[in-house]
Amino acid sequence: MVNKKKDTTVIVGGGHAAGTLLTALLQKKYQHEVVLVSDEPHPPYQRPPLSKSYLAGEVDQSSLYLKPRSVYENAGQQLRLGVRVEGIDRYAKSIKLSDQSTLKYDRLVLATGSHVRRLKAPGSDLKGIHYLHDIADTDALRNQLVPGKRLVIVGGGYIGLEVAASAIKKGVNVTVLEAAERLMQRVTGPEMSTFFYAKHTAAGVDVRLGTAVTGFEAGDKGRVAGVTLADGGNVPADIVLVSIGVIPETTLAENAGLLCDDGIVVDEFTRTDDRDILAIGDCTRHRNLFFEKMQRLESVANAVDQARTAAATLMGEEMPYDSAPWFWSNQYDVRLQMVGLSQNHDQRVLRGTTNDKGFAVFYLLEGSVIAVDAVNLPIAFMVGKQLVQQRKSVSADALSNTDIELKSLI
């Protein structure tokens, strides 16, 4: 009897997308060899706690891991950690690694995520200027957050604001500088921005809107001492966190000649324009049947859903990506849950009163619910998920009337 050689599937990346794919392949009893290569020293892990419970010191590092390393290895999946993939040879179907070895693949999955957008301004290489994307970044920042220190956060998006909430609780003096006229402007509507502005200022955070940063001032020993502003002002600082977004990590794909457009372009089955290469997670610009247009999303739900779709594709099944995106953020005692994309709405409906006891904003387009943001109101998020997924038409009066049970609207 001739033993048929097993194919090898190589996954590049060590984030939520790569880790979920490993698990999904295990669950599906995928018969081929699986090798994961990540340039991080950890088994695949989740990033959300990096600006929340892990930064606050409430959970330890191992709780970030999606699974202990032994689970994958006991199941025969290989993890090559701390090794960077430097190139893809699509003709030889092999990848070149930073330890100078090469690895052959039959199928390759790129789950290379994103990297932080750096602020290029005078003084941006001074010590004490932090970014937040991986475990090492949080460890470095957490050590600095001691009472009385002055932390300046550049960027009023959800990561910057989560850090502000943790830091102020630790007795740090926190200033948030946001260039736009409201907080989290890219992802949410004015009601939520106003609510979070009030939360942060009540907690003692100095939030400055419409405030653009032009550079950093040096103090002793090459450390940052302040942040300079476009209006000529200056904010003294002992520590700075720059949190101004991420850029999809497409270098490998671009160098290999794969189609990229602010993200590796993939279809609803996570396939690139090379039939043997898939891509999933933050690094993609993807087709999700739920939307008319291609999307690029930075969220755990997107990483997980695409990883499950990729597992099906690798198994030869057809499971197109077709789900409404969702997201969450924790700041103080507030849990914000969001579903859908609100940007194109033509009507907003507030349910409840904007306070900690729970309220929601429904975003409608031509009468259909396209997105919901819920604060401490999980029922609005759960019902909202179904309304958004079904693109359900619901009257504004019914959505705002708290005497009408939300469940009855599904």
Rule CB under 6 A: which residues touch ligand FAD? 12-18, 37-40, 47-48, 50-51, 84-85, 111-114, 132-133, 159, 249, 252, 281-282, 298-301, 303, 327-329
Pairing of strands 239-242, 150-154: parallel
What is the closest distance, in whole angstroms, from the C-beta atom of residue 3 to ligand FAD in the complex? Answer: 31
Q: Give the strand pairing for 8-12 and 347-351.
A: unpaired
Contact 213, 124 (CB under 8 A): no
CA atoms within 13 A on the CB side of 293: 5
Q: Considering the complex, what minimum distance in angstroms separates the CB of residue 300 from ligand FAD? A: 4
Residue 123's CB is within 10 A of a number of other CB atoms, namely 19
Find the shortest distance in angstroms from Cβ 366 to ligand FAD.
28
Nearer to ligand FAD, 103 or 349 (CB): 103
Nearest distance in Å: CB 268, ligand FAD: 17
Distance CA 176, CA 233 (A): 14
Q: Which is nearer to ligand FAD, 123 or 302 (CB)?
A: 302
In angstroms, what is the minimal distance from the CB of 116 to ligand FAD?
8
Q: State the nearest-atom distance from the C-beta of 295 to ligand FAD, in Å.
A: 13
Nearer to ligand FAD, 133 or 199 (CB): 133
Nearer to ligand FAD, 39 or 178 (CB): 39
CB 80 within 8 A of CB 36: yes
Read off the amino acid at residue 391.
R
Cβ closest to ligand FAD, residue 211 vs residue 337? 337
| Axis-axis angle for helices 190-203, 158-169 (nearest 10) | 20
Cβ nearer to ligand FAD, comparing 128 with 325: 325
Residue (229 or 301) nearer to ligand FAD, CB = 301
* Shortest Å distance, C-beta 232 to ligand FAD: 32
Task: Report DSSP letters for 47-59, one per residue.
Answer: -GGGGTTTTTTSS
Q: Is 57 left (phi over 0), alpha (psi -120 to 50) or beta?
A: left
Tell the smallest beta-carbon distance from residue 22 to ligand FAD (Å): 11
Q: What is residue 62's three-state secondary structure? A: helix
Closest CA to 127 of 228, 215, 238: 238
**Nearer Cβ to ligand FAD, position 123 or 340?**
340
Centre a 10 Å sphere on the Cβ of residue 130 and count the other Cβ atoms it contains: 19
Q: How many CA atoms lie within 13 A of 64 on its CB side?
A: 25
